[in-house]
Structures are given as structure tokens and as C-alpha cells.
Copies of this chain bind each other. A is one copy, B any other.
Amino acid sequence: MGRWEPNARGRLAQAAIELYVERGYEQTTVAEIAKRAGLTERTFFRHFADKREVLFSGSGSLRDHLVNAVDAAPDSAAPIDVIAGAVASVGVLFHERHESARQRQAVIAANAELRERELIKLASLSAALADALRRRGVPDPAASLAAEAGIAVFKIAFERWISGTGEPDLSRFVREAFDELKAVTAGR
């Protein structure tokens, strides 16, 4: 057996989320998180860049998923449809996750610092999507606009999915929001 209990990072993440839910983000100190995980404050900061990052470290896989989906789209597809398809395809990442996603989102919504961090994560998704489009030969500003539009749609679709009850399909909300966007920008 190892010198230390295994999965220090996972224990820290779980302890953090529990405490954020139990007593709120601001009312939780890093020392408390570390203590619940059986580690020290210093070790927390070795695993997470800051106190917020615990809630966002999973966004890397979302980014990868989106970029892969863009790369896999047929050459003939229009940029907006490539983006729409990629964003709709992230639905699978959230299957069976409705409840934990809702809880996490409630924590984020309750705190301004966390909302800031979420926005920059979304912006980095947008940048990654725009990059992927440019690699396909889509010029700017079309690439940036399509990517920004896609993220705007995702935000709204996700919000509706979270505030809904049960577990309907996130992808459906995404497709609906895209249709609405097309109608709106067409001037209707």
C-alpha cells in the first residue's frame, strides 16, 4: 500500500463540493476542505490553482468533446451547422447527471466569483470552437461569430435544462435554441 491514502485530488474535490453545498462557497475555507479530506491547505493548492477551480476542472473534457465533434463534421457542412451539431452532441456528457449538475449550478449561481469563473470557462470553449472552425478553413469573423453564437445557445439551453424537472435531453434544448436563434437573427 502507498504511503498516503489514494486519490488525494478526488477526496479534496468531494470535500470541497460537500462543504460548498452545506454551508456555501464563501463560508468555506480552504483549510476546512483540506481537513475534511485529511490533507493540508498547502496540498489543496498543489492540486487546484485556486479555491474556485475545484468546480471547473472538468471543463477540459467538455472542450475536448466539442473540438472533436467539430473536427469530425463533414467538410460540406456549413459552419453554423457544424457548431450546432457539436454543441448538441455534448448532451451525452450530461446523461444521468441532471441532479449533480443542478446542485453544482446552484452553488455557482449563488456566488459572483464563481459566475466569473464560469464565464471565462465558457469563453475558452468559444475560443476553442473558433479555432477548430479556422482549422477547417472558416475565415474570421465568421468563425468567431459562429462559435460565440454556439456558446450563447448552449448557455440558454443548459439553463432551461437545469431549471426543468426530471431529465429530458439536453440536446433537444440545444436544437430548439438554435432554431430560435436562426429565427431571431433572420429578423423575425
Name the B residues within 8 Å of A109 (CB-CB).
Answer: none
Of residues 71 to 120 in A, which have CB atoms within 8 Å of B's CB atoms? 78-81, 112, 115-117, 119-120
Q: Is the CB of B184 within 8 A of A142?
A: yes
Copies in the complex: 2
A side interface size, CB within 8 A: 33
Name the B residues within 8 Å of A169 (CB-CB).
Answer: none
Q: Does A182 interact with chain B (Cβ within 8 Å)?
A: yes
Query: In the complex, A70→B156 CA distance in Å?
Result: 21
* CB contact between A78 and one of B112, B177, B188 (< 8 Å): that residue: B188
Name the B residues within 8 Å of A80 (CB-CB).
Answer: 184-187
Binds B, one of A1-9, A15-23, A25-33, A147-155: A147-155
Could you tell me which A residues sit within 8 Å of B by CB distance? 78-81, 112, 115-117, 119-120, 123, 141-142, 144-146, 148-149, 152-153, 155-156, 160, 177, 180-188
